[in-house]
Amino acid sequence: MARLLGTLRSSQPVARFQRSCGLFPAGEEGGGSGDPAEGPRERGACNGEGAPGCPAGSGRAVPGGVRSGVRSGVRSGVRSGRGPQGCTQKYIVKNYFYYYLFKFSAALGEEIFYITFLPFTYWNIDHSVSRRMIIVWSIVMYIGQVSKDILKWPRPLSPPVVKLEMRTNAEYGMPSTHAMAATAISFSFFIATMNQYKYPFELGLVAAFVFSTLVCLSRLYTGMHTVLDVIGGALISAVLLVLLYPAWDTIDHLLLTSPFCPLFSIVVPLVLCYNYPKLDYYSPTRGDTTTILGAAAGATVGFWLNNQYAASAYAGKSVQPGLPLISSTVVFVLARFLVGILVVLLTRWVMKSAVLGVLGYRYKFPIGDLQARRRLEVEVPYKFVTYSSVGFTATVIVPLLHRLLGLM
């Protein structure tokens, strides 16, 4: 068993998967580097910005998975918040189908997917389904992000792995939060709708499995996780789903009816964000966690307010024998989504600028100062206020706007 786990945790299976999908480091035999017509696709990250510079012989795990002393550009004994410089690699794509498939699949576990799919579900499908997905998503992601910084397992080594992402390379690897989010969202959507709407059980199960599998495989293709990271993330998410499922209705009822819900929804996530595990270098995990908890907090307050004051434009339309998406015209669905997403993005931009401006004035730093924005006293309130406003806007303001525009 120990040997199997060691193999799953190593970088070689990831490298073999990449090669089998037609992704090679430039210059590797079989990568086709000798053909000028098939030059390197683009520059890929060997170690992303923000990853820690790890002195040789320090014994510390390197999240970015860069071999100590290999093109690191960091002097021994020197620690840096930016990490190894000059550590980039060129790679060659031999199969563009897999390249675009897995690049797209990787995006299904990132902010662009959360900020579109979760609101879309709320505006066009079902409130109760959206509430359950957001609850599960926020709990699963918080546990996953904290686990990374507690376990401190490094990402796959490069070489032999080709790395296609820079930002997330600064984080530790175990568990894969992409795998956790994909499993949680797809299967919570399936579980929440299978008894409420009429569609083939097998179709829903296969769709959830395919969705989560594609995201999991994308983490191997992009070189950001080992096989064990991905399996661990999916299993942890599945266990949490099993544990949370019996309490879904109780949690949902409390969130809608308890007079303490708004206070609880704001205070608890803020306390968790301010007490996030500390590292001796900057990692985007705390900021990402604050973003997720902030969005969930704002949405939860919106759920409560809608239930208390009937502010929702869709009250009474959630429970129908078939999916509302089927009975609604495509034009109305697209109109609701486009109007909603424009308002959400505008809210995000306005709040981000306003909050950063206030914090910059308070702590005396220019808005463009990236290092200042990474400080605890700046990053947490900036991201929490911005994304809680986004969550609140998506669940309260946008539905009211839909009503005013006759898009109910």
Domain boundaries, the chain: 101-404
**What's the longest Cα–Cα distance across the chain?**
68
Tens-binned pLDDT, residue by residue, of the chain (408 aa): 777 777 777 788 888 888 888 888 876 555 444 443 444 444 444 443 333 333 333 334 456 655 433 333 332 222 233 333 345 567 788 888 988 998 898 888 787 888 888 888 888 888 888 888 888 899 999 998 888 888 888 888 877 888 887 766 667 778 888 889 899 998 998 888 887 777 788 888 899 999 999 999 999 988 888 888 899 999 999 999 999 888 888 888 888 888 898 999 899 999 998 988 887 777 788 888 999 999 999 999 999 988 887 644 444 444 343 444 444 577 888 888 898 899 999 999 999 989 888 888 888 888 777 888 888 888 889 999 999 999 999 999 998 888 888 876
DSSP code, position 156? P
Q: Between 248-257 and 127-151, two packed helices, what is the crossing angle to 10 degrees? A: 110
Whether residue 359 contacts residue 384, with contact meaning beta carbons closer than 8 Å, is answered with no
Q: Structure pTM? A: 0.77
Q: Is 23 helix (H, G, I), strand (E, B) or coil?
A: strand
178 among known catalytic residues: yes
Spatial distance between the Cα atoms of 102 and 106, rounded to a whole number of angstroms? 6
DSSP code, position 394? I
What are the residues whose beta carbons fall under 8 Å from the beta carbon of 11, sequence distance 6 or more? 65, 156, 157, 158, 160, 161, 226
402 among known catalytic residues: no
Catalytic residue among 127, 225, 253, 402: 225
What are the residues whose beta carbons fall under 8 Å from the beta carbon of 147, sequence distance 6 or more? 174, 175, 236
User: What DSSP element (H or E) covers 90?
Assistant: strand 88-93
Amino acid letter, residue 273:
C
User: What DSSP element (H or E) covers 132?
Assistant: helix 127-151
Q: What is the pLDDT of residue 121?
A: 87
